[in-house]
Amino acid sequence: MSKYVKELVTRDIKRELDGVEDAVLVSYVGMDANTTNELRGELDAKDIRILVVKNSLARRATEGSSLAPAFEGTQGQVAVCWGATDFVSLVKELVRLDKDTAKFESFSANGGVMDGEKLDADKLKEVSKWPSREEQISLLVGQILGPGAQLSAALLGPGKKLNSQIKKVSEGDE
């Protein structure tokens, strides 16, 4: 590949990854075309983008960005995945696909970068166990609404009891 072509490809990779803060590196070398299309379809359904890159060109394209640590020590061809609703959802989906050896035996989540920190495969598995954004919001809403519901029950309980006693007296059932 000539130097000019390398510069063009590097510029395209840089443009594609512009604005991406967190990403996961995966490998699916050895998959046939049909399985690769099926994988891309599953990722697209979850709003996950995937870009196959040569790591030396990706290293050049991400130099100075928060994605640069992800490409340190990588070799060969890798695919960069980003997107989904949040990073934890992205990692959960990719780790799930990594475990699905019957369908995607050649697929593996190798590492990534989160908040500028390099993640290895083991760290990705840890992150996949974290609650996703939706789960965190539901926990937070439950914690916010919980005390209010308890206060409401505490205030309404004696009122209901008094109401039932007044109703009994008015009906003549003492």
Average pLDDT over residues 103-128: 86
Residue indicated by tokens 């206060």: 151
Beta carbons within 8 Å of 106's beta carbon, 6+ residues apart: 27, 28, 29, 30, 31, 35
| Residue 174, pLDDT above cutoff 70 | no
Q: Rounded to an integer, what distance in angstroms lies between the CA atom of residue 132 and that of residue 128?
A: 9
Q: Where are the alpha helices (DSSP H) in the chain?
A: 3-16, 33-45, 55-61, 87-99, 121-127, 133-171
Query: What residue spans define the domains of the chain?
Result: 3-130, 131-174
Which of the residue ranges 4-13, 133-142, 150-159 would you say has the lowest mean pLDDT?
150-159
pLDDT tens digits, one per residue of 61-101: 888 888 888 888 888 788 999 988 888 888 998 888 888 77
pLDDT tens digits, one per residue of 131-141: 887 888 888 88
What dotted CATH number matches 3-130? 3.30.70.1730
CA 11 to each of CA 5, 16, 43: distance values in angstroms, whole numbers, following the listed order: 10, 9, 25
pLDDT for 173: 55
pLDDT for 1: 76
Average pLDDT over residues 141-151: 81
